């Protein structure tokens, strides 16, 4: 996966610097009601059906010498 930071294109994607990453995951995209499946699968664990978004996580790309 390549990200673009709005700067001049580089062969590595992102230029050296400090960035933040936040991930959003859609967990249940079916039209069926998840409660029915949650009950059927309860012995296997909890069926999570709400979307999840991570906290922003800082990361730094070092310049290769």
Per-block average pLDDT, block size 10, for the chain (65 residues)? 57 80 88 90 91 94 83
pLDDT at 65: 75
Q: How confident is the model at residue 9, as a pLDDT?
A: 59
Query: What single-letter DSSP state applies at residue 51?
Result: -
- Give the pLDDT confidence score for residue 11 in this predicted structure: 64
Q: Where are the domains of the chain?
A: 17-61
Residue 28: what pLDDT?
83
Would you state the pLDDT for residue 27?
85
Helix (H) or strand (E) holding 45: none
| In contact, 6 and 33? CB cutoff 8 Å | no
């Amino acid at each position: 996966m390549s990200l673009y930071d709005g700067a001049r294109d580089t062969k590595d994607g992102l230029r050296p610097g400090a960035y933040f990453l936040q991930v959003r995951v859609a967990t249940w995209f079916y039209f069926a009601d998840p409660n029915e499946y949650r009950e059927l699968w309860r012995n296997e664990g909890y069926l999570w059906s709400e979307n999840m978004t991570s906290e922003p996580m800082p990361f730094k790309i070092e310049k290769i010498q």
